[in-house]
Amino acid sequence: MHLNKIAICLTFFVATAVLIWTPVARAQMPDSGILKVSGVWQGTRTTTGGTGSGEYKVHSIRFNLKQNGQDLSGSYSCFAGKKANVDCNNPVGTVTGGKVSATRVKLQIQALPNNLTCSFDGSVQANRMTGNYVCYVGGTLASNGVWDVRHR
């Protein structure tokens, strides 16, 4: 008889714990598991190689992203601004492909007038994205480096 009371108490305790902790666990997980990155992101990209010189070039960049599920589209611009060199040869572009999953983001950019194609790969944390990029013109490496943008 004593064993039955222990089993009943233990069952009640486990059931109560499940009822209490399940909503708490759900509240910490995003509904869809997909980060929301739509909007304007502005910052810099810093060239660390590929241009034929040892000089680090800093360009101000901006992404205006539109999100549909995990897919990203939008526009890209490179411009002279705070902490930036003025030589941005391909100032406007289009996000030709992009994905966001978990905390990772990948953007494919085509910029004009030289048909520069760039791949930005990085991570998203709150209102900041950072990572590495590589750009090609006509199949030849144009530049590569790091990027850092914040949501505006």
Tens digit of pLDDT for each residue in 55-79?
A: 678 899 999 999 999 999 999 999 8
pLDDT tens for the chain, 152 residues: list them. 555 555 454 444 444 443 433 333 222 224 566 789 999 999 999 988 765 555 678 899 999 999 999 999 999 999 877 666 667 888 999 999 999 998 999 999 999 888 999 999 999 998 999 999 999 998 899 889 999 999 99
**Report field, pTM of the whole predicted structure over 0.85:** no
- Write the burial class of residue 110 (CB in 10 Å: 0-12 exposed, 13-18 middle, 19+ buried): middle
What pLDDT does residue 83 have?
67
Name the residue ranges covered by the structural domains of the chain: 1-30, 39-151
Q: Which CATH class is domain 39-151?
A: mainly beta
- The sign of the torsion formed by the CA atoms of 9, 10, 11, 13 equals positive
